Structure 1
Amino acid sequence: MNIRDVSGAFSRLIFILSRTLVRLLPGGRILAFGMGETRIGAIMVINLDRQPRRWRRVRRELARFRTVDGAPLLSITRRLAAVDARDGRAVAATADVDTIYRIGDQLHVQPDPRLLACFGVDEPVGMTRQEVAVARSHVEVWKAIVAGADEYVLVLEDDIWFRRGAATMIDRGWSAALRHCGAIEGPKFIYFSYADADGTAERINLDDVVFRPLRGLWFLSGYVLSREGAATLLRAMPVVGPVDLWMNFRFEALGALALCSPVILQRQDAGSDNAYSILPYLARAGTIDAGPALASPHRESSGSVLAWTAGGSHEGLAMALSMLGLRVRVYDGDEEEIQANDLPVLFGTFDAIVDPPLAPGALSSIIANTEAKFLLELAPPLASGLGRLPHAQTLILSQHRPSGDRWLCMCAFLGLDRPAEAFPVGAARGLRVFRDDRPDAARRALAVSFRRNAYRLDPSPWVLPPRSNWRPSPHGAEMAATGGQCLADTTTARGSSPFRALVETFPGNRASFEMEGVVHEEEGLRLTVSKGNAGSGRPYRSGAFASVEAFEHGRFEAEIKAASGPGLVTGFFMHRSQPRQEIDIELMGGDPTGMLVNVYFNPGDDGATMAFGYRGTPYRIELGFDATLEVHRYTIDWRPGYIAWSVDGNVVHKRVGWDPTPLPHLPMRLHANLWAPRSEELAGTIDDNALPAAAIFRRVSVWA
C-alpha cells in the first residue's frame, strides 16, 4: 500500500479536462501487443459490478491504442468482475488468502525506524475486508490466465490512465524484458505501474529501460504476467497480507522486472472506499499525520424509517441502520405512546426509529406518508396493527438470512450503499446505546438559556443535527460516586504495573511519545514535553501511558497537575479504534481554568473499521482554579446509560444517550498523555522557550 497525497478539487478538475482532451488524440500502435508467442496477447481489467463508470473510462483509455496488427486494444480486452468487499460471503475465510500478516512484512517493503520503534516485527495485523477482496480479485485473474490460451496478459485495475508516450515506453520496455530474459523463457512478471516505497526500493538496473526489483514497490494497477508466472503465484498461495505487499516476497521466484519509469498511473478523480489495515499503525508511529478529516457515510434522504424488531437480546438492526449513516432512536416499549403530532418533531431529529410505541392515530398518519419506509425483522402478528403497512413500502427481514443478504436487501430497499462490514450483532439492549435519555423539552430549553458552547460539533449522523442547538442538560449539585472494587492502580514503582508507557503518536499531534517522556518519581508519573530530535518526524517529543487491559465501563480517576503553557494539552481519556470511540478530559495549558470534555461515537461491532469524526462533541467546563498550579482529582464515570465527569469529588458535567451522541458501548483502554496539537484553534501556539514542560499524574486508578 502506498499513501498518496490527495489532490485538491482544482487539480482533479484539471486532470479531468486533460484526460477529456487526450481522448480525442490517438495513442498509436503498441507493437508489444498482438498475435505471437512473444507478444502480449490479452488485457484483463478488474472491475466491480457496481462501478460501470470506471469500466467505461478504462475502455475509452484503451480505445486510443492499437495492436501491432492495427486492431484496437479493446479487441483483446476482457473484463473480470472484481470480488466485492461488501459481499460478506466473498471475503469470508478462504484458502487463497491468509488475512493476518506482520509488521515485519510491512517493514520489508518499506523500512521505517519509527514503525519499528513502536511495534515488534511479529506484531500481527489483520487485513481489512477491502484488502481481502482486492487480493482475491487478483488471484481470480491469475487462475484465468493459467486456464487461458495467451502466453502474456496485461492485468489492469479500473482506475488507471496511460501517460504521454506510453506506446513507445511500453515497446522499449517489452523489448528489453525479452532481451534480458531470453525469447524462449520470456519474462514472467513485469511492472508497468508501481510506486516506489517512499524512495526506499532496492533494485538492480539492467539498462536505461528496465530494472530488477529486490523489494520496495507498491501497487498492482498494471502488470504483465505470463502463464508460467501466474502458475508460480498460485503455487505460492495463500496470499499473506495485502497483495501488493505479498508480491514483494515473490520477486525472486518470478524474476520480476519493472520499467524504469511507470507508464500506467492511477487516476486522480477515481474515488475509493478502500480501507488499509496498516494505517492505524502508521498513524501511531507518526509516519503519517493528519490529513483531511474523514467524512461520514454520504447518503441521500431515505425518508422516514420505522423498524420493528423481534425483541432479541442484542440490537443488530438498530446498529445496522446507524452504520448506514442514519440517526437512530430505539424504544423499550414502556414509554408514552407517540402521537401523530409528535412525528414531525421526532423525524426532525432522527432518521430512523426502532420499536416505536405508536398510538393508532400516529400509525395511521405514518402509513399515509408515501415517503416512509417500514422494516420488520419478522412478519407482524395480525393483532399488532402492523399488518396494515403498505407492501410497497415494507421489507420483512428474516433473521436466518446470511449477513450479506441482509445488507443487500435492506440497502436496496432504503436506496443506500452497502457497507463493507459484516451485518452487526449489535449492542446488548441493557447498554441503551440508541436511547434518547435527554430531559424533556422544557428542561432542555432552560439549558439553552444559560449555557453556551464555544466549540463546534462534528457534522455527523452520530451527533444531533445542528438545528437541535445542543447544550448540556442541567444537573443539580451531585457528589461523584465512590467505592467499588479497584481494578487497576498506578504506583511510583515500575514493577508489574497495569499501565505501560507508549512509544507512538497520532495524527494531529506535533509530538512523538517516547519512553524517556515518562519518568517515575516520588511525586508520581511525570510526562515531559521538549523539543524533538532531528529526524524524529515531529518537532517535539513527550510522554504517554495507557492501561494494558481494556475496560467495559467503570470509574476512572487520576490526580493530575496539568502542564502549563499555550499549545500544550494534558489528556486523560478512554479510547478504542475499530470502531473509534472515546471519552475525554483535556486540560489546556493556555486556558488553565477550563476543562474540555468530549465524546466520540462510531457504530459497529468490535472490529468495524468506522473511524469518522474530527472534533467530536467538545464542551468547556469552568473549573474555578488554575489546573497547572496544583494537583486535583479528575474522574470519568462511564456506565450503561450515562457518563459523568467529576472534579475533586463533584460532578461538573453529565451526559446520557443522544446528549448529543449515543454513548460508547465497547471496551476501551485508559490513556494519559501530554501532547502538542497541530490545531492552534484548540490549544494556541506553543512557546519553544517555555520548554521543557511537564504534567504530573500522582495516581491513576480504575474502579468497577
Structure 2
Amino acid sequence: MNINNLISPMRALAFRAWRSLIAFIPGGRVRAFGQGTDQIGAIMVVNLDRQPRRWRRVTKELGRFRTSEGIPLTSITRRLAAVDARDGRAVAATVDVDVMYRIGDQLHVQPDARLAECFAEDEPVRMSRQEVAVARSHVEVWKAVANGTEDYVLVLEDDVWFKPGAPAAIDRGWRAALDRCTAEGGPKLLYLSYSDAGGTAARDDACDVLFRPSRGLWFLSGYVLSRKGAAALLRAMPVVGPVDLWMNYRFAELGALALTSPAIAQRPDGASDNAYSILPYLARAGIVDSEHGAKPPGQSRTGLVLAWTGGGERESLAMALSMLGLRVRAFDGDEEPMQEPELKEVLKTFDALVDAPLVPAALAAAVANERSVILLEADAPTPAGLELDRLPPSRSVVLAPRDPLGGSWGVLCGVLDLVEPVEPFPAGAPRAFRLFRDQRPTARLAPAARRPRENLAMDDSPWVLPASSGWRPTQNVCPSVRTAGPAIAEASMTEASASFPGLIETFPGNLASFAQEGLQHTDEGAQLVIDAMQSGLRPYRSGAFASVRSFPHGRFEAEIRAAPGPGLITGFFLHRDTPRQEIDIEFAGADPRRLLVNVYFNPGDDGTAMGFGYRGSPCRIDLGFDATADFHRYAIDWRPDRVTWLVDGRVVHERVGWDPTPIPHLNMRVHANLWAPRSEELAGRIDERKLPAAAAFRNVLVTE
C-alpha cells in the first residue's frame, strides 16, 4: 500500500490539460509489443463498469503508441471488468483471498521503526472491501492470462499514463529481461510501473535497465505477466492481504524483474475511492499525520426525505440515510403529530425524517414539494393520506427487505441521486437505543436554563447540529444520575495492570509519541510523563494506557491529577475506530480550572470505515478548582440515550440525542493519555522549560 501525496487542484488541472494536448501527438512504436516470438502479445486493462470515462482515457493513451508491426496498441487491448467493492456478493468470503494479514507483512514490504515499535508483527489487520475487490480483480486477470493464447500480457489498471521516453525504456527493459531469463524460458513477471516503498526496495543484480527486487515494491498498475507466471500465482493462492503487498512474497519464485525507473505511472489527477486497511495503524504510529479529517459524503440533491419503516428491532434505514450524509431525525411514532409550521421548523435542521408523525395537511405540504422524496420499507404501513401511485418514480420508492450482502443501496441511492457506498448496507442500531432521536431539552427550557457557549468551533458534518441551530449546552434538568452497577474492570494503577496496559503509538496531530518509558507506576498511581526528546521520531515522548477490552455502555471513572503547563492535554476518554466514535474528558494544562468535554459520532455498523471530523462538539465546564493541584474523581456515565459527566460524584454536564450529536452506539475502549497538540488552538504553545510534566491516574473503575 502506498499513500500518494495529495495533489493540489491547480496541479491536477495542469496535468489534465497537458495530457489532453499530448493525446494528439503520436508516441511512436514500442517494439516489445507484437505478434512475434518473445513479444508482448496482448494488453489487459482492469476497469470498473461504472468508470467508462477511465476506459476512454486509457484507450486514448494507448492509441498514441504502435506495435512493432505498426498497428495501434488498442488493437491488442482487451478490457477486463474489475470486481466492484460496492457489490457485496463479489467481495464476500472467497477461497481466492484471505482478508486477514499481519503488521509483519506490511513491515516486510516497507520496514519502519515507528510501526515496528507500536505493534507486534503478528498484529492482525483486516483488508478493506476495496482491497478485496482489487485483489479479486487481479486474480481474474491471472486466470485469463493463464488460460489465454499469448505468452506475455501487459496488465494495466485504468488510471495510468506513459511517461516521456516510455517506448525506449520498455524496449530496453524487455530485451534485457529476455536475455536474463533465457535459461528459465523467458521472464515471468516484469514491473513497468511501481512505487519504491519509501526508498527501501531491495534491488539485487541491478544494471542500467533492470533490477531484481526481493521486496519493497508497491502498486500493480502496470506489469508484464507470462502464462507461466500467471499459473504460478494461481497455484500460490489465496492472496493474503492487499495484492501488491502479497506479490512481494512471490518475487523469488517468479524471478521478478523491474525497470530501473518506472516507464508507466498512475495519473495524479484522479480521485481514488480505495480504502487502505493499514492507514489507521500508520496514523497511530505517527507515520501519516493530518490536521484535518476527511470530508463527509456529498449531500443529496433532493430536498426533504420522508421515510417510514416497518418498525423492526433494528433501525436499518435511518442508519443508511445517515451514512449517505443526511442529517437524520427518527421518531418513535407515538409523538404528537406535527403540524405544517412545526414541520417547516424541523426541516431547517434535518434533511431526513424517519417515521415522522404528521397531520394530513403537513404530509400533503411535504408531498407537494417537488424536491421531496418518499421512502417506504416493504412492510411499513402507508401513512394516512399518502398516495404513492400519484408520485413519479423519481420521487418515491418502496424498499424491498434488506439484502444482507448490500443489495438495498442501489434503489436508495438511485432515488436520492447519490453514489453508492462501498460499505455493506447497515443492519442499524437496536431500536431500543433510540438513536437519531432529537431529545434536546433546550426548546422546553427558559433562556435562564441555557449556558452561554464559548466560540468553540464544531465539526461541519451531517452528524453535528448546524451552526444555524444555535446549540447551547444546557443546565442539568435532573442533576441526579443512576447508581453505578457491578464492577466490570478495575485497577489501582499503582502497578502495571493487565486490564489497562500501556500503549506504544501516537495519532495524527500529536507532537508526542507514547512509549513505555512515559508510563510509570508509583504509590500515586500511573504517572504519564511527557518530556522533550533529544532525538526521536517526534519531538516529545509521553505515556498512555487503554483497556484491553471494549465496553458496550457503563460508567467509566478514575481519580486524576492533570498535568500543568501550556500546550499539554490530559485525556480520559472512550474511543473506537471504524466507525470513529468518542466521548472525552480533557484538561488543558494552561486552563486547569475548566474541563473540556466532547463527543464524536460517525454512523454505521461495527467495521464501517467512517472516521470524519477532527473538532467534534466541544464545550468547557467550570470546575471551581485547579485540576492540576490534586486528585479528583471524574466519570463518564454512558447510556444508550444519554452521556453524563460527573466530577467528585456531582453531575456537571449531560447530553442526550442530537445534543448536538447522536449518542455513540458501538462498543468503545477506555483510554488515558498525556499529549501535545500540534495545533495551538486547543491548549496553546508548549513551554519546554516546564518539562518534564506528569499527569497521574489511579483507581480506574468500569461498572455496568
Q: Please indicate the TM-score interval, normalised by the length of the shorter structure.
A: over 0.9
Deviations 1:363-397 (Å, cap 9, x if unpaired)? 22222222211111125557844445634222111
Deviation at 1:339, TM superposition (A): 1.2
When residues 447 and 259 of structure 1 are mapped into structure 2, their CA distance, relative to the original with a 3 A threshold, is: farther
In the alignment, structure 1 residue 207 sits paired with structure 2 residue 207:
yes
Indicate if the aligned counterparts of 2:487 and 2:701 stay in contact, CA closer than 8 A. Answer: yes
1:145 corresponding residue in structure 2:
145
**Whole-angstrom CA distance in 2 between matches of 1:17 and 1:654:** 54
Code of the residue aligned with 1:422 in structure 2: it is P
**Whole-angstrom CA distance in 1 between matches of 2:481 and 2:683:** 28
Indicate if the aligned counterparts of 2:65 and 2:72 stay in contact, CA closer than 8 A. Answer: yes
Code of the residue aligned with 1:453 in structure 2: it is E
**Whole-angstrom CA distance in 2 between matches of 1:507 and 1:142:** 38
Deviations 1:10-67 (Å, cap 9, x if unpaired)? 3223322322232232211111111112111111111111112211221221122111
In the alignment, structure 1 residue 225 sits paired with structure 2 residue 225:
yes
Match of 2:432 among 415, 430, 433: 430
Indicate if the aligned counterparts of 1:480 and 1:646 stay in contact, CA closer than 8 A. Answer: no
Deviation at 1:293, TM superposition (A): 2.2
| 3-state SS of paired residue (1:620) | strand
| 3-state SS of paired residue (1:148) | coil
Matches within 5 A, 1:331-346: 331-346=331-346
In the alignment, structure 1 residue 60 sits paired with structure 2 residue 60:
yes
**Whole-angstrom CA distance in 2 between matches of 1:641 and 1:217:** 49
1:417 corresponding residue in structure 2:
419
**Whole-angstrom CA distance in 1 between matches of 2:111 and 2:435:** 42
When residues 91 and 600 of structure 1 are mapped into structure 2, their CA distance, relative to the original with a 3 A threshold, is: same
**Whole-angstrom CA distance in 2 between matches of 1:428 and 1:403:** 19
Deviations 1:273-329 (Å, cap 9, x if unpaired)? 111111111111222222642111123423211111111111111111111111111
When residues 68 and 283 of structure 1 are mapped into structure 2, their CA distance, relative to the original with a 3 A threshold, is: same
**Whole-angstrom CA distance in 2 between matches of 1:400 and 1:481:** 37
Indicate if the aligned counterparts of 2:127 and 2:277 stay in contact, CA closer than 8 A. Answer: yes
Code of the residue aligned with 1:410 in structure 2: it is L
**Whole-angstrom CA distance in 2 between matches of 1:291 and 1:58:** 35
Deviations 1:87-124 (Å, cap 9, x if unpaired)? 10110011110111111111111112222222222111
Deviations 1:436-476 (Å, cap 9, x if unpaired)? 0012535386666x512321111111111221122113324
2:117 corresponding residue in structure 1:
117
Deviation at 1:338, TM superposition (A): 1.2
**Whole-angstrom CA distance in 2 between matches of 1:293 and 1:428:** 28
Q: Does 265-274 or 646-655 show the bigger shift?
A: 646-655
2:26 corresponding residue in structure 1:
26
**Whole-angstrom CA distance in 2 between matches of 1:489 and 1:35:** 72
Indicate if the aligned counterparts of 2:442 and 2:474 stay in contact, CA closer than 8 A. Answer: no
Q: Does 575-584 or 99-108 show the bigger shift?
A: 99-108
Code of the residue aligned with 1:335 in structure 2: it is E
Indicate if the aligned counterparts of 1:564 and 1:693 stay in contact, CA closer than 8 A. Answer: yes
When residues 456 and 389 of structure 1 are mapped into structure 2, their CA distance, relative to the original with a 3 A threshold, is: farther
Deviation at 1:690, TM superposition (A): 1.3
Matches within 5 A, 1:575-654: 575-654=575-654
2:510 corresponding residue in structure 1:
509
**Whole-angstrom CA distance in 1 between matches of 2:384 and 2:493:** 63
TM-score (norm 2): 0.97
Indicate if the aligned counterparts of 1:453 and 1:471 stay in contact, CA closer than 8 A. Answer: no
Matches within 5 A, 1:322-337: 322-337=322-337
Matches within 5 A, 1:517-596: 517-532=518-533, 534=535, 536-596=536-596
1:461 corresponding residue in structure 2:
462
**Whole-angstrom CA distance in 2 between matches of 1:591 and 1:51:** 52
Indicate if the aligned counterparts of 2:495 and 2:526 stay in contact, CA closer than 8 A. Answer: no
1:655 corresponding residue in structure 2:
655
Deviation at 1:650, TM superposition (A): 2.0
2:377 corresponding residue in structure 1:
377
Matches within 5 A, 1:386-425: 386-388=386-388, 390-392=390-392, 393-399=395-401, 401-425=403-427
1:193 corresponding residue in structure 2:
193
Code of the residue aligned with 1:397 in structure 2: it is L
**Whole-angstrom CA distance in 1 between matches of 2:627 and 2:377:** 52
Deviation at 1:3, TM superposition (A): 2.1
Q: Does 209-218 or 486-495 show the bigger shift?
A: 486-495
Indicate if the aligned counterparts of 1:380 and 1:387 stay in contact, CA closer than 8 A. Answer: no
**Whole-angstrom CA distance in 2 between matches of 1:58 and 1:678:** 42
When residues 25 and 136 of structure 1 are mapped into structure 2, their CA distance, relative to the original with a 3 A threshold, is: same
Deviation at 1:213, TM superposition (A): 0.4
1:4 corresponding residue in structure 2:
4
Code of the residue aligned with 2:465 in structure 1: it is L
Indicate if the aligned counterparts of 2:388 and 2:396 stay in contact, CA closer than 8 A. Answer: no
Indicate if the aligned counterparts of 1:438 and 1:473 stay in contact, CA closer than 8 A. Answer: no
Deviations 1:108-163 (Å, cap 9, x if unpaired)? 11112222222222111110000000000111111111222211111111111111
